[in-house]
């Protein structure tokens, strides 16, 4: 069985002409995983860049909310394709349902034209917690709806982010009884520096409270996000006993699309991608 190192060779080859999603998502050469576009509650698209002219096949085995250490696991979606659109291998399925909080563990497969060997990556995972809403999508989800879907991991201070691509974003953090005030400091596409004073792209001392959540909604064009961007953030605030809250820096990537229920996008003509089942290796 080939290693992840062998599969990564695909990612450092000659970059071809890419457009649309491929151009935006994979503009960072360090992005080695696929791009997922999920429509809640049903349907998923998977994109992977063809950066090596010798790569003739891309495949993926997806396991939803499963422990890969257990025996007799079953693949929720196992497909591969040789079709390339706009510089990406693309797979589309309407059989896999994904909802808030689901974790997709996956293994990527690939094949070079010069070899019959199927290259297999190590297992990776992605959690569908944050929403990225395409710019051409009109979402009717209320703020209260997002608040109810926010992470329940209060002690981790892990908020739910909703990015309206190019137009604004929102942050929802469930309100714990022990938390009096919650805020945030954040940097766009940058890291926090130790010991140095920095100008934050976002410095909110106190979020508003609404329907059981601390909420911050930004609609001004001062801080816009697109595919491939990320936000490095620290949750701040105070507990009811007066203790300060300041988490370690964390990152949220505007990478995978997670389109919520009630979000309607204009219909676009899509090319049919032939995907065939593959046997587990």
* 242 and 149 belong to one structural domain: yes
Q: Are residues 142 and 88 in the same domain?
A: no
Answer whether residue 16 is part of any domain. Answer: yes
Residue 98 lies in a domain: yes
Residue 84 forms beta bridges with which residues?
89
Both 119 and 145 in one domain: the answer is no
Q: Quick one: pLDDT at residue 151?
A: 78
Token output for 131: 């929403």
Provide the 10 A C-beta neighbour count for residue 219.
10
User: 10 and 113: one domain?
Assistant: yes
Q: Please indicate, yes or no, whether residues 61 and 140 belong to a single structural domain of this protein.
A: no
Q: Which residue has the tokens 């820096």?
A: 249
Please report whether residue 263 resides in a domain. Answer: no
Q: Are 154 and 176 in contact (CB under 8 A)?
A: yes
Torsion sign over Cα 273, 277, 280, 281: negative
Same domain, 197 and 160: yes
What's the domain range around 167?
A: 131-255
Q: What is the domain-level CATH number for residue 150?
A: 2.60.40.2140
Alpha-carbon span 33 to 278, nearest angstrom:
20
42, 134, 27, 58: CA torsion to nearest 10? 20
Q: Is residue 262 part of a domain?
A: no
Instruction: Report mean pLDDT in 10-residue bins for the chain, 281 residues.
Output: 42 39 77 86 90 93 94 92 91 90 93 92 90 80 80 81 85 91 94 85 92 84 79 95 94 84 61 38 35
Residue 148 phi/psi, 5-degree rounding, is -70, -20
In this prediction, residue 8 carries a pLDDT of: 38
Report the distance separating Cα 107 and Cα 275, nearest Å: 16
Q: Are residues 74 and 170 in the same domain?
A: no
Q: Are residues 36 and 104 in the same domain?
A: yes
Computed from CA positions of residues 169, 33, 80, 85, in that sequence, does the dihedral angle turn out positive or negative? positive
119 plus 207 within the same structural domain: no
Give a yes or no: residue 261 inside a domain: no
- Residue 137 falls within a domain, yes or no? yes
Maximum CA pair distance of the chain?
65
- How many domains does the structure of the chain reveal? 2
Strand (E) or helix (H) holding 8: helix 4-8
Same domain for 116 and 224, yes or no, is no
Q: Would you state the pLDDT for residue 166?
A: 74
Classified as helix, coil or strand, 205 is: coil
Same domain, 67 and 138: no
- 148, part of any domain: yes
- Does an H or E element contain 108, and which? strand 103-112
| Element of type H or E holding 23 | helix 21-25
How is residue 164 written in tokens?
A: 């309206």
The DSSP H or E segment spanning 7 is helix 4-8
**What whole-number distance in Å separates Cα of residue 128 and Cα of residue 252?**
11
96 and 148 together in one domain: no
DSSP state of 95: S
Residue 104 lies in a domain: yes
Closest CA to 127 of 48, 65, 76, 47: 65
């Amino acid at each position: 069985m080939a290693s992840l190192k062998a599969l990564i060779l695909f990612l450092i080859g000659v970059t071809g002409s890419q457009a649309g999603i491929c151009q935006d998502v994979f503009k960072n050469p360090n992005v080695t995983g696929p791009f997922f576009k999920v429509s809640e509650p049903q349907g998923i698209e998977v994109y992977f860049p063809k950066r090596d002219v010798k790569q003739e096949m891309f495949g993926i085995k997806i396991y939803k909310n499963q422990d890969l250490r257990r025996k007799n696991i079953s693949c929720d979606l196992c497909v591969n394709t040789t079709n390339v659109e706009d510089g990406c291998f693309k797979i589309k399925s309407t059989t896999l349902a994904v909802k808030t909080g689901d974790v997709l563990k996956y293994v990527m497969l690939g094949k070079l034209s010069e070899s019959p060997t199927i290259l297999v990556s190590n297992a990776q995972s992605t959690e569908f917690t944050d929403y990225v809403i395409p710019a051409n999508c009109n979402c009717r989800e209320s703020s209260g709806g997002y608040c109810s879907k926010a992470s329940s991991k209060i002690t981790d201070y892990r908020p739910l982010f909703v990015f309206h691509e190019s137009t604004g974003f929102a942050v929802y953090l469930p309100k714990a009884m022990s938390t009096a005030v919650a805020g945030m400091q954040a940097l766009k596409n940058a890291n926090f520096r130790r010991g140095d004073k920095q100008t934050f792209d976002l410095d909110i001392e106190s979020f508003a409270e609404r329907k059981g959540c601390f909420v911050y909604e930004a609609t001004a064009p001062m801080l816009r996000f697109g595919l491939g961007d990320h936000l490095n953030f620290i949750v701040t605030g105070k507990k009811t006993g007066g203790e300060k809250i300041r988490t370690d820096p964390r990152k949220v990537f505007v990478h995978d699309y997670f389109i919520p229920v009630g979000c309607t996008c204009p219909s676009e003509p899509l090319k049919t991608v032939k995907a065939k089942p593959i046997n587990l290796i």
